[in-house]
Amino acid sequence: MKNSPKYMKKMLNIERKLKNQMEGYYYGQMNLLKGNFEVVTHEGNNIGVQNFYSGPNNIEVCHNQADFYKNSNLDLNLIRVFGEEPIYFNNGGTHCYLMLPRKELPDNFWELDNDERATSLLGSNPLVVDPSFKKVIPVANSGYSVRGVRNFRFSSNKNLELKSSGTQVPLGIDKNKRLVSFGPWEGKPNIFFREKFAKNTISYDLDSWKLNGELSKERFIFPIVQNISRAHNSFSN
């Protein structure tokens, strides 16, 4: 029976295994510390960055971490999903993570359209499996939502293309527990800061002296931002 002690023990063991396998995961674009990327333009005057991502890895951001985690647990029916996350991607934001169904999915699950797949998956009382923020929790009352369900990699593109003002691409979490992101604003590259549970961000131009005050004590994010700034200046000149 579903709520029998044997079933509950089995689920607890699975949850513990999933959580333990998140050891060594770190949310952030640490590959940018090497500085081996280049700022370019694409589709007119839009900013792009070649070699921005490192691909599936345990030290990356959500889409690559989720792909890496799934590939490391092929014995489990982990399903790729994207939608809102309650702390940093809670106001129409998009976060990639995984779900583990706790009931059998229909045989034609992948033949369903996206909305039907989402409904079916949520109906299986799944676990949220989020290696980025090291969470393994029931979806009910978790604050996570599902906008899309995928049966293929989130992305195989290592290049970044920024197409609209306000697009924000995460770099990592700073010591003040703010999400730090990169993107264009009013035609200029900016660094964005989002507090936990906040609906809005504050941002500074890459050349702003205020960034030093915000990030100077950051071991990883500050040199990443400095590398981005140098790459952009080389591109501009």
Whether the CB-CB separation of 93 and 82 falls below 8 Å is answered with no
Give the span between the Cα atoms of 171 and 181, in whole angstroms.
5
Residues 175-223: tens digit of each pLDDT? 999 999 999 888 788 999 999 999 899 999 998 999 989 999 999 999 9
> What is the rounded (10 degree) CA torsion for 229, 157, 76, 65?
0
Confidence of residue 48 (pLDDT cuts 50, 70, 90): confident
